[in-house]
Amino acid sequence: MVPWTSVIFSLISAVLSIIVPVVAAIWFCRRQQAPFSTVLVGALTFFVMQVLLRIPLLLVVNHFFSIELETTKGLLLYSAFLAITAALFEEFGRLGAFKIFRLQGDWKNAVAMGIGHGGIESILLVGINVAANTILLALLAMDLPIGLPPEVVQPLLDTAPYMFLLAGIERILTLPIHIALSILVVAGVARKNYGYVALAIAAHFLLNFPLGWMGQNWGVLSTELYILLCSVVAWLFIFRSRALFKESDS
């Protein structure tokens, strides 16, 4: 039987990963008078570059190439592949979307794009799955039959309650990182200095690369602390980043 704390934590994660990004987008656009269409552009960018392009590529690679993830070398090589493809697909996707949709190169559009990009990632990759798990957990907590095979139910029974909460917390921590990366890309276009785009690619790679190794060797809490540190750095950058656009307009 599943403890009700698992249900509650999973429900909180569903709210954090689905509702909070939507509320953040609406609040920011109203407060800063930013076009909501830019949020949608950010969301579309993630959907095209990740869901339609990168994830199918990863499936093909995983099908044709066998990687020994149990070895340190294999894990690091695969982590590097995941990190560089995520960085290239997403940052060039932001750059391409900015130019294709001819967005205004200012701070509020950069932030709005980041909210849309990180928000739809949160909803599609985490939120929907967590919401479905919440329903299953509630049924299991009430000891009701759900008619699912053991391989679906057993992982839910074996997962510690706090793990259901971490999924939502991680999405909240990741959102400012996407905003910061979008600011770098848009600033690069606005200032006609594509070194900022290169910096966004490098930062994205450095964020993603250690996660697999840390999770396997130090545990999931180490990865969450690392993401927390990156999130704090992203927030500090966001609050100071308006100056990039003021200088580009001068």
Q: pLDDT digits over 222-236, tens only?
A: 999 999 999 999 999
Distance CA 246, CA 191 (A): 10
Checking if the pLDDT of 152 tops 90, the result is no
Checking if the pLDDT of 247 tops 70, the result is no
Crossing angle of the two packed helices 107-121 and 72-100, in degrees rounded to 10: 130
Q: What does the pLDDT look like over 95-105, one tens digit per residue? A: 999 999 999 99
Query: In the chain, what percentage of residues exceed pLDDT 90?
Result: 79
Burial environment of residue 146 by CB neighbours within 10 A (0 to 12, 13 to 18, 19 or more): exposed
pTM of the model as a whole: 0.93
The mean pLDDT of 150-171, rounded to a whole number, is: 91
Give me the amino acid identity at 96.
Answer: G
Structure tokens of 75? Answer: 């894990």
Distance CA 228, CA 141 (A): 31
Q: What does the pLDDT look like over 12-34, one tens digit per residue? A: 999 999 999 999 999 999 999 99
Average pLDDT over all residues of the chain = 93
Q: What does the pLDDT look like over 117-148, one tens digit per residue? A: 999 999 999 999 999 999 999 999 998 888 88
How much is the pLDDT for 250? 43
- Secondary structure of residue 70 in the 3-state scheme: coil
> Which of the two residues, 160 and 151, has the higher pLDDT score?
160
- Which of the 8 DSSP states describes residue 142? T
Checking if the pLDDT of 46 tops 90, the result is yes
